[in-house]
């Protein structure tokens, strides 16, 4: 594609403007070709619509039940040149202090140094490095996840839900990402035990991200 672009630019923008060697019809055709080449390689940018998206998680409590929560504030951008998003690139950030588990005392504890230390490390981030298309809208997205001051390479299953026009004329795309991380690998180390030995909070945290995107 770069070679084609170079050739087109040579014909259109070259110093030889003699009409006999560069007739108007040929020039017009080359202009049209240049436009097609540009459209073909331009990336499409998408922004997360937070009002129609969510970042949720759940973790075991005393090994007998689960506690669920979510983050109220987050942002993200998605980029792709292909209509099926098989070359998807993602960058997301989450405001740690926006955590909500339905209990103010617990939320305060989780924001502290036993877990996130939201004051010192206010955001979690994920930046993709590669993607593998599995077909039928299924993707495996690999990238760097940073929590506190720890960055680890993770691979996350993602499902592309489709693209539609909303009632306001916006082009929207939907994605769902799910996965599990070990919180202790990211220095969320609080480890109290019940009287009978069970961990108060499990090590594995399951997360789900439902992202509604708006084309920019």
Q: Which helix (H) or strand (E) holds 35?
A: helix 24-41
209 sits in the region (left: phi over 0; alpha: psi -120 to 50; else beta) called beta
Query: Residue 197: which residues within 8 A CB-CB, separation 6 or more?
Result: none
**Mean pLDDT for all residues in the chain:** 87
Using CB atoms within 10 A of its CB, is residue 119 exposed (0-12), middle (13-18) or buried (19+)?
exposed
Task: Give the pLDDT score at 113.
Answer: 97
Task: Give the pLDDT score at 43.
Answer: 84
The number of residues in the chain equals 216
Count of alpha carbons within 13 angstroms of residue 55, beta-carbon side? 20
CATH homologous superfamily, domain 44-215? Lipid/polyisoprenoid-binding, YceI-like (2.40.128.110)
Task: Give the pLDDT score at 41.
Answer: 52
Map out the domains of the chain as residue ranges.
2-41, 44-215
Q: What is the pLDDT of residues 117-170, one digit of tens each?
A: 999 999 999 999 999 999 999 999 999 999 999 999 999 999 999 999 999 999
């Amino acid at each position: 594609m770069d070679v084609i672009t170079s050739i087109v630019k040579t014909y259109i923008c070259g110093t030889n403007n003699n009409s006999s060697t560069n007739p108007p019809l040929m020039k017009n055709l080359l202009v049209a070709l240049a436009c097609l080449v540009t459209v073909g390689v331009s990336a499409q940018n998408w922004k997360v619509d937070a009002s129609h998206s969510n970042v949720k998680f759940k973790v075991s409590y005393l090994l007998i039940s689960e506690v669920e929560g979510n983050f109220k504030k987050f942002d993200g951008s998605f980029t792709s040149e292909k209509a099926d998003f098989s070359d998807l690139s993602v960058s997301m950030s989450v405001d740690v202090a926006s955590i909500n588990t339905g209990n103010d005392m617990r939320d305060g504890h989780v924001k502290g140094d036993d877990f996130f230390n939201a004051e010192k490390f206010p955001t979690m981030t994920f930046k993709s490095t590669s993607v593998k298309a599995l077909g039928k809208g299924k993707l495996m997205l690999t990238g760097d996840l940073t929590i506190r001051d720890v960055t680890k390479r993770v691979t996350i299953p993602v499902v592309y839900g489709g693209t539609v026009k909303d009632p306001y004329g916006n082009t929207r795309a939907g994605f769902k990402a799910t996965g599990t991380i070990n919180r202790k690998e990211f220095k969320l180390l609080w480890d109290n035990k019940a009287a009978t030995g069970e961990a108060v909070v499990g090590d594995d945290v399951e997360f789900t991200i439902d992202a509604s995107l708006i084309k920019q």
